[in-house]
Structure 1
């Protein structure tokens, strides 16, 4: 059987990405299984909770560092890893959600510092004293007030709470509207041999070749709420390391990683993605092809990598055939693994498709409410037209009534003023005098008649 060098080169380039894997550090991670903490537990394994005045609340799938209204403002919460990060190449993934009123307040801080629970506690970058390490701050500032992420470094000499203009001390920043998204937001921090980078929801925020975080620091997340509080929730903190980075891994940790047991494969895929180090879950490998269980087949996948050999060392046809056979067998194993990963990805894709279909159905139900809004808008427009018609009719009625009153008054008073003026112009005093004199004479005659009749009447004597 003959295989061209071009075909072999293509096969090896296809498998180069799959050969690069990362492993999860369970003692620095939470939120990668169905539950953040064991049921009825008030603590997270390998993590320490701090709060002022109240401790953070642990729910099944999240940690509430600061609650929203009606809870009072001015609260602080923190979650700190009990173990240090002892790897030089690593990747940290933080899923969080911040929600609250339209105008937000407070901040969320992601720390990787020395002795974080003691030196930082529940502080934010604006209230912390001296610290040594890195902090990424998410607050409601930014160009449009929608939010931003800023990165700060300190060697333990600067006391930040005593400084002014802390925003200007950031070595990098980017605008990021993280509040009220309706979904968890993601911050991904990665340290490689040559680059330090920060991504937000899959988009690069900033990167630098001059930043190298030393080992021995602790991960932590703190949140502080303002007078009008925001709800700060942490869904996941996952830390992974390069599988080639064995420099800082102790023998005890290796033994612990080898002692993780298997559970039913069906449960691993019907529930949340399996990850290494969780209680009751097998360890997994995280590669470019996706998340894969650390099963014997997966370990064989690593062992099947045939090391490169110098062509000058293969001198016989038998050795050449054996080398070609081994490499073809390795290619076959890798392709089988890729096919299994693709099948797993298809299952995950189908599940996500079903979830999206359900959400689309719910969205269609909400769209029917928009039709009702159109009906209400039409009714309001009809009411507006009716009001305008009623207003015009009322004005016309008032005008008609005013015209009728004017016509009526004008008909009644027509000529009245002229007659009154004519009468006043020629007053008659003679008639008045005649009436007075005649009345006096009539009274005088009646008196005389009375006297005469009385005098002529017979007198009566007793």
Structure 2
């Protein structure tokens, strides 16, 4: 029975040690979104100063923080941790997403500085916009090197840079006239000194609750057995309560994941429509650019010369046909001189007949009444 009790206590100590070790490595007041809701009804973010520009405050949801909204543009959003990191060895994991139109603009910065105008160093090119999923940024500093990773890939790493302790973490975002929407899902800061301090607490807890060594192998008395059984029952009840609480958190996490899945499906459906329209526009733009390049690159002087020759030949042929047609019309038409002579002769005959008629009438005898 004593061995069983020792095993039970060892299991309890192991569970408590693992929990303390895991929780101690996270700087809680410089972290958010680490396995729990970020905000409850917009009640603020514990340990962080939240700000925005032009009365358009940063939007806090249960699973994300929208630093700059999709509309309107030219907005600013910022998160600044209140707790100072005193340990020279630390790491930060930041999950974010950037969405916007194809020609949108904006910028997102992660700070570890006591002064916002501090020195910046390091650079790498990475396509993080409109991925449809959060990008994971990791910043690590040890006594040997400083390293930045994006989605598990090393952005840059150097042993010549070292950020001195005594700084705070900050996240700032700004959007352009055609805005990008920056969303912060998770920021987890870990510190080596907090882990060491909590491991000391763990060792003290274990030393205080470790049972005294057995003096002999004699069977314990009935009273001791009852007390040990009762103590074991209490410990098992504590473990059962912790398990129940863990199951409740798992159920809450499952419900949150279901909501996220519904939202992702809705966003994907909308994004498919937008992507289809965007692909059509891109195809049209490529066609226009291809035509423009062909026009600029190809020499049309030869085609213009051929067209000019064709027009000249057509004009010459039309004039020749017109002259030939007019000549035919004139040659096939009756002679006008004959008609004129005939008309004049008829008129002279009529005049002579009229004169002859007058003479005969004047020479006729006149009758008087």
- TM exceeds 0.5? yes
CA RMSD in angstroms comes to: 4.4
Match of 1:194 in 2: 144
Equivalent-residue separation in structure 2 for 1:243 and 1:428 (angstroms): 128
Q: CA deviation at 1:95?
A: 0.5
Q: Tell me if structure 1 keeps the 8 A contact 2:27–2:194.
A: no
Match of 2:39 in 1: 37
Task: Give runs of aligned pairs for residues 207-246 of structure 1, distance below 5 A.
Answer: 207-242=157-192, 245-246=195-196
Equivalent-residue separation in structure 1 for 2:95 and 2:62 (angstroms): 15
1:269 aligns with 2:250: yes
Q: Tell me if structure 1 keeps the 8 A contact 2:140–2:147.
A: yes
Change (3 A) 1:453 1:25: same
Equivalent-residue separation in structure 2 for 1:430 and 1:211 (angstroms): 119
Equivalent-residue separation in structure 2 for 1:66 and 1:37 (angstroms): 17
Q: Tell me if structure 2 keeps the 8 A contact 1:32–1:272.
A: no
When the two structures are superposed, what TM-score results if normalisation uses the length of structure 1?
Answer: 0.46
Change (3 A) 1:49 1:460: farther
> What SS does the corresponding residue of 1:444 show, helix, strand or coil?
helix
Equivalent-residue separation in structure 2 for 1:81 and 1:456 (angstroms): 149
Q: CA deviation at 1:440?
A: 2.1
Q: Tell me if structure 1 keeps the 8 A contact 2:27–2:190.
A: yes
Task: Give runs of aligned pairs for residues 434-449 of structure 1, distance below 5 A.
Answer: 436-449=344-357
Change (3 A) 1:448 1:235: same
Residue among 359, 364, 367 paired with 1:456:
364
Q: CA deviation at 1:270?
A: 3.6
Q: CA deviation at 1:238?
A: 0.9
Q: Tell me if structure 2 keeps the 8 A contact 1:86–1:248.
A: no
Residue among 59, 74, 77 paired with 1:57:
59
Change (3 A) 1:460 1:31: farther
Q: CA deviation at 1:57?
A: 1.3
Equivalent-residue separation in structure 2 for 1:238 and 1:181 (angstroms): 22
Segments of structure 2 that go 5 or more residues without pairing to the other structure are: 1-17, 206-240, 280-320
Change (3 A) 1:190 1:271: farther
Change (3 A) 1:423 1:245: closer
Match of 1:92 in 2: 92
Figure out how many residues of one structure are paired with residues of the other and give that number.
Answer: 254
Change (3 A) 1:446 1:100: same
Equivalent-residue separation in structure 2 for 1:418 and 1:215 (angstroms): 110
Equivalent-residue separation in structure 2 for 1:447 and 1:432 (angstroms): 23
Deviations 1:145-191 (A, max 9, x none): xxxxxxx2xxxxxxxxxxxxxxxxx2x32222222211110111123
Deviations 1:387-418 (A, max 9, x none): xxxxxxxxxxxxxxxxxxxxxxx9xxx99966
Equivalent-residue separation in structure 2 for 1:175 and 1:236 (angstroms): 22
Match of 1:46 in 2: 47
Q: CA deviation at 1:423?
A: 7.1
Change (3 A) 1:249 1:90: farther
Deviations 1:199-218 (A, max 9, x none): 11112222333444333321
Change (3 A) 1:442 1:86: closer
Equivalent-residue separation in structure 2 for 1:438 and 1:205 (angstroms): 118
Deviations 1:85-106 (A, max 9, x none): 2334332110011122324533
Q: Tell me if structure 1 keeps the 8 A contact 2:91–2:189.
A: yes
Equivalent-residue separation in structure 1 for 2:52 and 2:326 (angstroms): 96
> What SS does the corresponding residue of 2:46 show, helix, strand or coil?
coil
Q: Tell me if structure 1 keeps the 8 A contact 2:92–2:189.
A: yes
Equivalent-residue separation in structure 2 for 1:221 and 1:428 (angstroms): 106
Q: Tell me if structure 1 keeps the 8 A contact 2:25–2:195.
A: no
Q: CA deviation at 1:236?
A: 0.7
Deviations 1:366-396 (A, max 9, x none): 8xx99xx9xxxxxxxxxxxxxxxxxxxxxxx
Equivalent-residue separation in structure 2 for 1:41 and 1:418 (angstroms): 100
- The answer to which structure has the higher helix fraction is 2
Structure showing greater radius of gyration is 2
Match of 2:331 in 1: 421
